[in-house]
């Protein structure tokens, strides 16, 4: 049995690592890090684990793994003999591989930009600068962030209108990987379009016992 250590940052994407390990019933040790109360950033102590100081970080028998998608794939392929992954070469597998990368590669960028812009909008600024900052934020929102998120939301809704889960008819690690960006989209995407299928999918996956166990051990997911 591999010696597994999870370096987990509170209220972060690393909930997905706890969740996949709970789904796969792999025993692990948990080391939790608290965010800086002022900057809301990860503590410097995480840089001793990985040079970028980001979470999650997975240690397996002393070897370090970073990046959520790569970590989840390692857990499924190397530690669990392909459980929670469709058979290679199938249409489900091709969908699985796509959605394993889409969340961080495409969806998180406009979500992160919206979060950053919201911080700019609410930041304490001199009175003569604040209108300029708000104007810039408004133009970014209207010209890029809002239409991008609406496009992504419609894309996801259309896919989940045809498939029960992201890879197809069965729950897979792709659903774990997609859980964080979709929850962020539903929570703060300000998407006005009908998202019934997306919300139903999220209710289904977040009702799983392993999801609840991960939340109990790691705490809330969203900031």
Q: How confident is the model at residue 96 (pLDDT cuts 50, 70, 90)?
A: very high
pLDDT of 135 above 70: no
Give the chain's mean pLDDT: 88
Q: How confident is the model at residue 134 (pLDDT cuts 50, 70, 90)?
A: low
pTM of the model: 0.89
106 shares a domain with 203: yes
pLDDT in the model for residue 130:
65
pLDDT in the model for residue 197:
95
pLDDT in the model for residue 72:
97
Nearest to 171 by CA among 198, 210, 195, 205: 205
pLDDT in the model for residue 137:
60
Q: How confident is the model at residue 62 (pLDDT cuts 50, 70, 90)?
A: very high
> DSSP characters for 122-143?
HS---TTTHHHHHHHHHHHIII
Strand spans (E) along the chain: 4-9, 29-33, 57-60, 63-66
Q: What is the pLDDT of residues 73-87, one digit of tens each?
A: 999 999 999 999 999
Rounded to whole angstroms, the Cα distance separating 74 from 76 reads 5
Beta-carbon count within 10 A of 37 CB: 6
pLDDT in the model for residue 53:
85
pLDDT of 217 above 70: yes
115 shares a domain with 70: no
Domain CATH number, residue 41? 3.40.30.10
Judged by average pLDDT, the poorest of 33-47, 114-128, 145-159 is 114-128
98 shares a domain with 66: no
Domain CATH number, residue 172? 1.20.1050.10
Q: What is the mean pLDDT of residues 49-59?
A: 90
95 shares a domain with 172: yes
In a domain, 61, yes or no: yes
Phi, psi of 5 (to 5 degrees): -125, 130
Q: Name the residue range of residue 179's domain.
A: 91-208
């Amino acid at each position: 049995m591999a010696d597994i250590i999870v370096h987990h940052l509170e209220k972060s994407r690393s909930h997905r690592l706890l969740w996949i390990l709970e789904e796969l019933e792999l025993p692990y040790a948990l080391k939790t890090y608290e965010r800086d109360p002022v900057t809301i950033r990860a503590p410097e102590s995480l840089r001793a684990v990985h040079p970028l100081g980001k979470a999650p970080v997975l240690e397996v028998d002393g070897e370090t793994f970073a990046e959520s998608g790569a970590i989840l794939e390692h857990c499924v392929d190397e530690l669990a003999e392909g459980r929670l992954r469709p058979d290679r070469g199938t249409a489900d597998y091709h969908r699985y591989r796509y959605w394993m990368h889409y969340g961080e590669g495409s969806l998180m960028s406009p979500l992160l930009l919206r979060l950053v812009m919201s911080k700019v909008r609410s930041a304490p600024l001199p009175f003569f600068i604040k209108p300029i900052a708000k104007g810039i934020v408004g133009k970014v929102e209207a010209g890029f962030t809002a239409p991008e998120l609406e496009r992504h939301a419609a894309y996801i809704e259309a896919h989940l209108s045809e498939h029960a889960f992201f890879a197809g008819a069965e729950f897979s690690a792709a659903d774990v990987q997609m859980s964080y960006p979709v929850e962020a989209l539903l929570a703060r995407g300000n998407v006005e379009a009908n998202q019934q299928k997306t919300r139903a999918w999220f209710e289904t996956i977040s009702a799983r016992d392993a999801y609840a166990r991960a939340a109990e051990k790691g705490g809330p997911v969203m900031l």
